[in-house]
Amino acid sequence: MRIDLHCHSTASDGTDTPAELVRNAAAAGLDVVALTDHDTTRGYAEAVAALPSGLTLVTGAELSCRIGGVSMHMLAYLFDPEEPALLAERELVRDDRVPRARAMVAKLNELDVPVTWEQVARIAGEGSVGRPHVAAALVELGVVPTVSDAFTQDWLADGGRAYAEKHETDPFEAIRLVKGAGGVTVLAHPAAAKRGRTVPESDVAELAAAGLDGIEVDHMDHDADTRDRLRGLAKDLGLLVTGSSDYHGSRKTCELGEYTTDPEVYGEITRRSTGAFPVPGAGGA
């Protein structure tokens, strides 16, 4: 059983539509795929409608959080998407995306990079605009060779020259809200150092004490030593260990199913959640 619990669609900054994502997941031989767009659940309906038979969809989201000035991502699974408190917080975060992207464009213009808001908006298309879209504009302009090269202190990494802050949820609040909506929380790529400063282990321990369910260990941004260290940390703290591709379509190099989650861990996630059930594919269009 192959389980990939972290994927993005055009509902946020992926390049596959939700329908393409589930078809590609089935073609990649996955049995379970999670749709975890940034701060939104609006891809769910399309993904469910197109879900091929043999593939199960786990509904989720990747919540933008910040702790002690460090941005971090919290994966949330199988929560009730209509639960009002969690819905309101996601809207607060999302509404800040456009002003924030505009602020990054303005900072780049001050650095003599001729990027325009129209260009970034065109790249984002229907998706909720984010930093990867600004990074893609820098690639288009030939400022950097790849999107990853834009995530440095010179450009768009946290605290970088063209970085702009946005509203992000306190992770303790995120855990509380997701639990209140019947969902399960997993700290995404906790040691992805190249994205900026990472969350210290003491914070992970406090989050675990506050009800965090798991941490994402097997991820493209973690090297072998980091994975070993995180596996040990998870064991010490009694946290579930997940692995996933963080697939973004053609925007990032990672393939669907490149990293996967143990079926037992997946089973535990489904047992702990009461907000939504995994959706078995009925063979959609």
Toward Zn ion, which CB reaches closer, 46 or 246?
246
Please state whether 139 falls in left (phi above 0), alpha (psi between -120 and 50) or beta. alpha
The identity of residue 225, as a single letter, is D
Q: Work out how close the CB of 110 gets to Zn ion at its nearest, in angstroms, rounded to a whole number.
A: 27
Taking the least distance from each CB to Zn ion, the nearer of 73 and 143 is 73
* Residue 243 structure tokens: 């692995």
Of the two residues 35 and 86, which places its CB atom closer to Zn ion in the complex? Answer: 35
Of residues 182, 39, 174, 186, the one with CA closest to residue 100: 39
**Nearest distance, CB of residue 256 and Zn ion, angstroms:** 13
Assign 189 to helix, strand or coil.
Answer: coil
Q: How far is the CB of 60 from Zn ion (least distance, A)?
A: 10
* Under 8 Å between Cβ of 62 and 6: yes
Distance between CA 99 and CA 26 in Å, rounded?
37
Min CB(54)–Zn ion separation in Å: 25
Judged by beta carbon, residue 55 or residue 188, the one nearer Zn ion is 188
Shortest distance (Å) from residue 62 CB to Zn ion: 5
Residues that bind Zn ion (CB under 5 A): 62, 73, 188, 246
Angle at Cα 260 formed by Cα 241 and Cα 187, nearest 5°? 40
The span from the CA of 7 to the CA of 125, in Å, is 18
**Which residue in the shown chain puts its C-beta closest to Zn ion?**
73
For Zn ion, the closer of residues 249 and 275 by Cβ is 249
